[in-house]
Structure 1
Amino acid sequence: MSRVLIRVLWLMLISGLSLQGCTPPKPVRLGAPIEGFSHTSAAINRFSVNGGGGPNLAPYGYGGGQMCCASLPVKWHPGLTVVVEWVKDPDPYASANWPPLGTDGYRAAYKLHAAKYTRHRAVVPVARYEELGLVNVHFLPCNQVAVSAGATYPGRPDYPFHFSQKMQEPATCPES
């Protein structure tokens, strides 16, 4: 082989190897949109998953569209958990009997009502997923929470949870 050919092949090899470094690495974590479901008579005024905010949820309701985002691994692994924090209004229809909106009486009633909100935090296992997708947060009786993060959704047979839309609080809740 001629020296010129060897040099050309050597340069092609070096160039090819250096271009491999230009390929972006596959992400390990991604931001996934969050939505929620309240299966109880309480309203969820706000909630978050790993710090990413979720929509407000009406009693027994699906909540207000998707919000962004919860950072989760692209690949599920055993022991995967998220931190869910939420504020619950145990009497979401109380304002029906308040003085007119914008009055001092209304503001006073709201202040008394808001003092009854409860704040919660739970470290929750994430149901197994094959492909990272929408983060679904289910608020259940006794301040329990279930979380999925796959490419499936409630109502499908492959969805990991099949909760009744309306669940009643028991007279006493088990201690956590």
Structure 2
Amino acid sequence: MKKKAFDWLYKGLFFIVAAILSGCSQAKSDDGYTAGDLRAVNHVEGQGINGFSVNGYHVPGLGGGYCCIMLPEKWTPDLKARVEWEVDPNPNVILPPLGTDEFRKAYEQHRTKYQQYSAIVNIPQFGKERCGLTVHFLPCNKVKVTTVCSGYGTENYPIKEPLNMKEPPACPVK
């Protein structure tokens, strides 16, 4: 009897791992949308992105691909992304030891300096191949997005801005 239980457990774990590894980049719905991962690249030196969302799909932090965002099967010229994000202007602050009253007070004070931003940007034209959406955070609270499957820094990647860009002393007024 124990062997059967372990067989079921192993089969269940296999299917769970397979589902996780396959991600949601190929998930299709019946209403003309495809799911894809959300990714981000921070180009601004000395600034932390605590989290962001695109059209309501939230990502906590900047890690790798985070599932999922729904993109239409067919691109249209009016396709937009509303990007909202939270910036920590001093992510390298040294706080007192975790779990202490001093830490809680210092963290609350540090947290008051977080800044929220939003932007609406055009989603560039895509064809059948698209791998979710990658958001690039640039100086002066600008963002660019792409749906290409290749990674940042590869030859055909459309966004060429370098990493570790410095904020200018003054940003252009919108």
Question: Is 1:138 matched with 2:136?
Answer: yes
In the other structure, the counterpart of 2:88 is 89
When the two structures are superposed, what TM-score results if normalisation uses the length of structure 2? 0.77
> Among residues 142, 158, 161, which one is paired with 2:159 in the alignment?
161
Question: Max radius of gyration: which structure?
Answer: 1
| Contact kept in structure 1, 2:47 and 2:90, CA below 8 Å | yes
1:37-76 maps to which residues of 2 (within 5 A)?
37-40=41-44, 41-57=46-62, 64-76=63-75
Query: What is the Cα deviation at residue 153 of structure 1?
Result: 2.6
> Among residues 83, 98, 103, which one is paired with 1:101 in the alignment?
98
Q: How many residues align?
A: 144
* Structure 1: gaps (5+ residues): 1-24, 58-63
Corresponding residue SS for 2:103: helix
Corresponding residue SS for 2:38: strand
Deviations, residues 16-47 of structure 1 (Å, cap 9, x unaligned): xxxxxxxxx96521221101111112110010
Corresponding residue SS for 1:84: strand
1:118-133 maps to which residues of 2 (within 5 A)?
118-130=115-127, 131-133=129-131
Q: What amino acid maps onto 1:148 in structure 2?
A: T
In the other structure, the counterpart of 2:34 is 30
> Among residues 148, 151, 158, which one is paired with 2:149 in the alignment?
151
Q: What amino acid maps onto 1:150 in structure 2?
A: V
Write out the 4+ residue segments of structure 1 that deviate beyond 6 Å after TM superposition: none
Q: What amino acid maps onto 1:87 in structure 2?
A: E
The alignment-based identity, stated in percent, is: 40
| Contact kept in structure 1, 2:50 and 2:85, CA below 8 Å | yes
RMSD after superposition: 1.7
| Contact kept in structure 2, 1:54 and 1:66, CA below 8 Å | no
* Structure 2: gaps (5+ residues): 1-28
When the two structures are superposed, what TM-score results if normalisation uses the length of structure 1? 0.76
Deviations, residues 81-116 of structure 1 (Å, cap 9, x unaligned): 11111111000011x2x2221111110000000010
